[in-house]
């Protein structure tokens, strides 16, 4: 807590720049402003207006946070805590999230404009990550391979990597942070989190819950601010040994390069241009819903968006006509309204980027069969809305089919055979996810193996679980989050040889 007893979130105090609520950073168990004393506005995509202030952190704040995380890692109650007790702390966080899901969801909707129903669903699911990894905390057992060194004892132990730097985007701010910090903390590490400058408030509220759960100071730190001013110094700090990043490929490449200079371990969850493939034998009405869920849910702002619809030529025209008809009925509007289907895009920059891609698709010769403009009806207020947009006659070499847009824009591409569908699906620099729709069991069994993507769904789309590894092939990233193996992403195996009789043979040869 701060000296006056307040926590990270509080109302305006005299002397602050504007009549907006302020949120604080959390460093070494204290709620604090940035070293510079500067603030950043966080805007509501539905109103287009600033609704809160977050501290504009810099390298000095990162320095304090990393030093605090390092101290907590090497000494003190966290460093000596039994894994079962770490697990119990994580379980307590799970309970607190469940009790505060509504508030966390409200903050996310205000920051990123995604539908309340979607964010509330995510918040209600979040406790599972802390329950699962909390349960795993005391089940990381060493191994004793049958070593071939006579008379020697050898065992493998798994040790936490140290201070983990977590850098996250705005689209699912807490979910994507929790995918990192739940296994990292369960493994005994400490963390410094740099949330997106566009969506930091829910994380600050989450860290209040960690404080209530009784986490020792320094174990979990949050520094808010811009990528260049806080993210870069976090990646470059020599005491940070592991970087866990979700975001775009431009930042991902910079982070990978900076981490390489110090040989840091990294995981990068990056973008995608995922195919959603509909075969002629698909259950058509369900496939239509699956295509909509892939690209128009969350206004297309998901890394796994099914932004390329591959349609078998025999059903192409009928399927497309039906899809357009259904999407014409989609209701745009206030993301808090339970009747809204499509909310705004999250930032003004994102709005401009999406509109640029719409123009580009038209120039490339794609045929716009739905939408294609900024949406500005009365239901959209002053928000950053784009009409759900569908382009037909797209070929897979067009930029609209190759580059990630991160908006409600669907490119439709025709195919004639399974071979062609697989070739088109895999013809992308990315490889995050792929959906396919078929009632043919042989095809359902055979094709997932042939798709070069980290996740394949058959007759489903946008399904994730704390139990299922998630991540990408190729330019969609490095490493996997979720599932049992993810905890090993935050552990270093160590080989220990113990020679009970200290007799060395020829010292000039390998023993």
- By annotation, the residues acting in catalysis are 269, 303
Q: Does 248 bind ligand NAD (CB under 6 A)?
A: yes
Among 218, 435, 477, 479, the residue binding ligand NAD under the rule CB under 6 A is 477
Residues 365-384 that bind ligand NAD (CB under 6 A): none
Contact 494, 157 (CB under 8 A): yes
Distance CA 413, CA 313 (A): 9
**Do strands 49-55 and 39-44 pair parallel, antiparallel, or not at all (unpaired)?**
antiparallel
Q: Which helix (H) or strand (E) holds 200?
A: none
Q: Does 163 bind ligand NAD (CB under 6 A)?
A: no
Among 205, 351, 401, 432, the residue binding ligand NAD under the rule CB under 6 A is 432
> Shortest gap between Cβ of 201 and ligand NAD (angstroms)?
14
> Shortest gap between Cβ of 307 and ligand NAD (angstroms)?
10
Shorter beta-carbon distance to ligand NAD: residue 96 or 410: 410
Among 120, 270, 386, 401, the residue binding ligand NAD under the rule CB under 6 A is 270
How many Cβ atoms are within 10 Å of 259's Cβ, its own excluded?
21
Among 232, 334, 475, 489, the residue binding ligand NAD under the rule CB under 6 A is 232
Q: Does 251 bind ligand NAD (CB under 6 A)?
A: yes
Among 178, 303, 386, 451, the residue binding ligand NAD under the rule CB under 6 A is 303
Write out the two tokens for 336. 């808090």
DSSP letter, residue 332: B
Q: Does 111 bind ligand NAD (CB under 6 A)?
A: no
Name the residue whose CB lies closest to ligand NAD: 231
Q: How many residues lie near ligand NAD (CB under 6 A)?
A: 31
Residue 205's nearest CA partner among 3, 5, 9, 6 is 9
Shorter beta-carbon distance to ligand NAD: residue 197 or 341: 197
Q: Does 170 bind ligand NAD (CB under 6 A)?
A: yes
Shorter beta-carbon distance to ligand NAD: residue 87 or 435: 435
Among 45, 113, 173, 271, the residue binding ligand NAD under the rule CB under 6 A is 271
Which residues sit opposite 321 in a β-bridge?
A: none
Residue 183's nearest CA partner among 293, 90, 322, 302 is 90
Among 131, 189, 196, 201, the residue binding ligand NAD under the rule CB under 6 A is 196
Distance CA 266, CA 100 (A): 31
Distance CA 342, CA 340 (A): 6
Q: Say how far residue 380 (Cα) sits from the centre of its chain.
A: 27
Write out the two tokens for 111. 């920051």
**Do strands 190-194 and 308-312 pair parallel, antiparallel, or not at all (unpaired)?**
unpaired
């Amino acid at each position: 807590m701060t000296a006056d007893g307040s926590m990270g979130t509080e109302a305006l105090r005299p002397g602050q720049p504007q009549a907006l609520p302020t949120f604080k950073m959390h460093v070494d168990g204290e709620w604090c402003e940035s070293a510079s004393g500067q603030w950043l506005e966080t805007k509501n995509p539905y109103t287009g207006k600033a609704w809160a202030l977050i501290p504009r952190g810099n390298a000095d704040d990162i320095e304090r946070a990393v030093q605090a995380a390092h101290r907590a890692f090497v000494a003190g109650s966290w460093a000596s805590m039994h894994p079962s007790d770490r697990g119990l702390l994580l379980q307590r966080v799970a309970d607190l999230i469940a009790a505060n899901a509504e508030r966390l969801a409200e903050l996310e909707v205000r920051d990123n404009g995604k539908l309340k129903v979607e964010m509330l669903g995510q918040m209600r699911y979040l406790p599972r990550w802390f329950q699962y990894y909390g349960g795993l905390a005391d089940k990381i057992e060493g191994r004793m391979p049958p070593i071939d060194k006579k008379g020697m004892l050898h065992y493998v132990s798994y040790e936490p990597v140290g201070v983990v730097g977590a850098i996250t985007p705005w689209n699912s701010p807490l979910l994507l942070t929790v995918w990192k910090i739940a296994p990292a903390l369960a493994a005994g590490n400490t963390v410094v989190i740099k949330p997106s400058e566009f969506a930091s408030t829910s994380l600050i509220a989450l860290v209040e819950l960690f404080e209530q759960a009784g986490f020792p100071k320094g174990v979990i730190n949050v520094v808010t601010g811009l990528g260049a001013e806080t993210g870069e110094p976090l990646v470059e700090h020599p005491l940070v040994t592991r970087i866990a990043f979700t975001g775009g490929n431009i930042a991902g490449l910079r982070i990978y390069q900076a981490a390489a200079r110090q040989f840091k371990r990294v995981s990068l969850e990056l973008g995608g241009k995922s195919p959603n493939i509909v075969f002629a034998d698909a259950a058509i009405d369900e496939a239509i819903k699956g295509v909509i869920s892939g690209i128009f849910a969350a206004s297309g702002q998901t890394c796994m968006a099914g932004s390329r619809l591959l349609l078998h030529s025999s059903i192409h025209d009928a399927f497309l006509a039906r899809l357009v008809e259904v999407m014409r009925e989609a209701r745009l509007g206030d993301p808090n309204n339970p009747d809204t289907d499509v909310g705004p895009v999250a930032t003004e920059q994102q709005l401009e980027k999406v509109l640029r891609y719409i123009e580009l698709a038209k120039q490339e010769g794609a045929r716009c069969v739905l939408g294609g403009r900024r949406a500005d009806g009365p239901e959209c207020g002053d928000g950053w809305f784009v009409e759900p947009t569908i382009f037909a006659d797209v070929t897979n070499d067009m930029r609209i089919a190759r580059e990630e847009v991160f908006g409600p824009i669907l490119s439709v591409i025709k195919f004639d055979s399974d071979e062609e569908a697989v070739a088109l699906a895999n013809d992308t620099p990315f490889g995050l996810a792929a959906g396919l729709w078929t009632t043919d069991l042989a095809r359902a069994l055979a094709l997932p193996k042939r798709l070069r993507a980290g996740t394949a769904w058959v007759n489903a789309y946008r399904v994730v679980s704390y139990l299922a590894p998630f991540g990408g092939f190729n330019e969609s990233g490095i490493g996997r989050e979720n599932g049992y193996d993810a905890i090993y992403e935050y552990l270093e195996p160590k080989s220990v040889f113990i020679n009970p009789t200290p007799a060395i043979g020829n010292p000039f040869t390998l023993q």
